[in-house]
Amino acid sequence: MRGQTCPVPLVECRKALRKASPGDEVVVIGTHPASKKEIPMACESLGLDVLAVEEKGDEWKIRIRR
C-alpha cells in the first residue's frame, strides 16, 4: 500500500483478510499516516488480533492475525 491514500489501504487490507484462512497472518505495509491508525481500529472492531504496528521512517508495517 506504499503511496496509496485512504480508503485504498483499508479496502485492500479487508480484501486480503477475507481471502486469508483463520490463523493466517496478514502484513500490510504503507506510507499514508491516517491508514496506520484506521487499519488497526478497523481490525480490532472486527475481532481480529493486531500483532504489531511498526514504523520506520515514512513507512509503517501492521501485522494482523485472522
Which residues are known catalytic residues?
A: 6
How far is the C-alpha of 29 from the C-alpha of 59, rounded, in Å?
7
Query: CB-based burial of residue 14 (10 Å sphere; 0-12 exposed, 13-18 middle, 19+ buried)?
Result: middle
